[in-house]
């Protein structure tokens, strides 16, 4: 399976900058690796229209409901109807600033996968949790709570992103060895929870991934790709991550 790079644009770019990005990106993207882009929801239709067909578009969050009286929310069913492919769920910024919890995210993961979208479920420890030696137990809790009772029939639509909170947007990257250690642990939990899918489920690393550290990270056995914030905003950097210099 090809390595996958998911760009998380967060709340960045205006419509002209989105167009500029794809003008450069489309010209050089060779599909050597997979490239997905999670834009702000308001930009989704522009991304969908301008991206080359090899790129998949998605969002950074959505409702756990498919429709109804939920003012201001974005429906995963509406996203699917607009040709959306995936949703990032449980990003540490959503957990930190919007009070999302693994238990609450369980419902979002379920709805997203039921709607035929891919759920990119994020887990990761804070710096103090790492320093206290709690990394693996935090990851285990986040996985159990978020994935508890998910239908095995939908597990093809699950991707896990390991994002140590201390490495996001800080310029500090987990070493390939540190990242691999957690990825292997995540893999072992998935193998127990979903025996026939644990080996296949993609596990992405996120946290200050850059063109100069991507190759070493992707060389690790259980790292299937990257979830990328800052370095996904510039077409040239994201192309480099996708193996297209
Ligand atoms: C992210 O937002 O998911 C992320 C990993 O950001 P950055 O690459 O900027 O650290």
The alpha helices in the chain, defined as continuous H runs, are 15-28, 44-50, 76-81, 92-98, 102-114, 127-131, 135-147, 176-193, 214-218, 235-241
- Digitized pLDDT (tens) for each residue of the chain, 245 residues in all: 999 999 999 999 999 999 999 999 999 999 999 999 999 999 999 999 999 999 999 999 999 999 999 999 999 999 999 999 999 999 999 999 999 999 999 999 999 999 999 999 999 999 999 999 999 999 999 999 999 999 888 899 999 999 999 999 888 888 999 999 999 999 999 999 988 888 899 999 999 999 999 999 999 999 999 999 999 999 999 999 999 97
Q: How far is CA 88 from CA 46, 109, 161, 198, in A?
A: 19, 9, 9, 20
Pocket perturbation via mutation, ligand 1, pick of 227, 231, 232, 240 by most ligand atoms within 8 A of CB: 227
C-alpha 83 chain-centroid distance = 18
How many C-beta neighbours within 10 Å does residue 103 have? 13
Cα 227 to ligand 1 centroid, rounded to whole Å: 7
pLDDT given at position 245: 77
Domain boundaries of the chain, sorted by first residue: 4-241
**What's the CA gap between 74 and 79, in Å, rounded?**
8
The active-site residue, picked from 91, 100, 125, 183, is 91
User: In this structure, which CATH number among 3.30.50.10, 3.40.309.10, 3.20.20.70, 3.30.200.210 belongs to the domain 4-241?
Assistant: 3.20.20.70
Give the β-pairing of 158-162 and 4-8.
unpaired
Q: Is the CB of 225 under 6 A from ligand 1?
A: no
User: Is 91 an annotated catalytic residue?
Assistant: yes
pLDDT given at position 181: 97
Residue nearest atom 1 in ligand 1 by C-alpha distance: 229
Pocket perturbation via mutation, ligand 1, pick of 5, 163, 170, 234 by most ligand atoms within 8 A of CB: 163
Write b or e for each residue in 111-150: b if 16 or more Cβ atoms lie within 10 A of its Cβ, otherwise e: bbbbbebbbbbbbbbbeebbeeeebeebbbebbebbbeeb
Which ligand 1 atom sits closest to the C-alpha of 161? 3
pLDDT given at position 85: 98
User: Is 85 an annotated catalytic residue?
Assistant: no
pLDDT given at position 152: 84
């Amino acid at each position: 399976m090809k390595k996958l790079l998911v760009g998380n644009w967060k709340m960045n770019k205006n419509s002209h900058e989105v167009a500029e990005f794809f003008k450069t990106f489309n010209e050089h993207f060779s599909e050597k690796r997979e490239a997905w882009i999670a834009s702000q929801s308001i930009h989704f239709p522009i991304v969908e229209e301008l991206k080359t067909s090899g790129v998949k578009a998605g969002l950074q969050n959505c409702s756990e409901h498919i429709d109804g009286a939920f003012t201001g929310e974005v429906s995963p069913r509406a996203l699917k109807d607009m040709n959306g492919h995936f949703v990032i769920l449980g990003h540490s910024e959503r957990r930190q600033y919007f009070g999302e919890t693994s238990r609450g995210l369980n419902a979002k993961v379920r709805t997203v996968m039921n709607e035929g979208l891919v759920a990119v479920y994020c887990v990761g420890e804070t710096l103090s949790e790492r320093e206290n030696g709690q990394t693996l137990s935090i990851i285990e809790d986040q996985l159990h709570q978020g994935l508890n009772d998910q239908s095995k029939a939908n597990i093809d639509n699950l991707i896990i992103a390991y994002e140590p909170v201390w490495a996001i947007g800080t310029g500090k990257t987990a070493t390939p060895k540190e990242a691999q250690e957690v990825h292997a642990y995540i893999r072992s939990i998935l193998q127990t929870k979903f025996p026939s899918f644990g080996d296949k489920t993609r596990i992405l690393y996120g946290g200050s991934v850059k063109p100069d550290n991507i190759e070493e990270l992707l060389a690790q056995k259980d790292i299937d790709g990257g979830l990328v914030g800052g370095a996904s905003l510039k077409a040239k950097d994201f192309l480099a991550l996708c193996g297209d210099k």
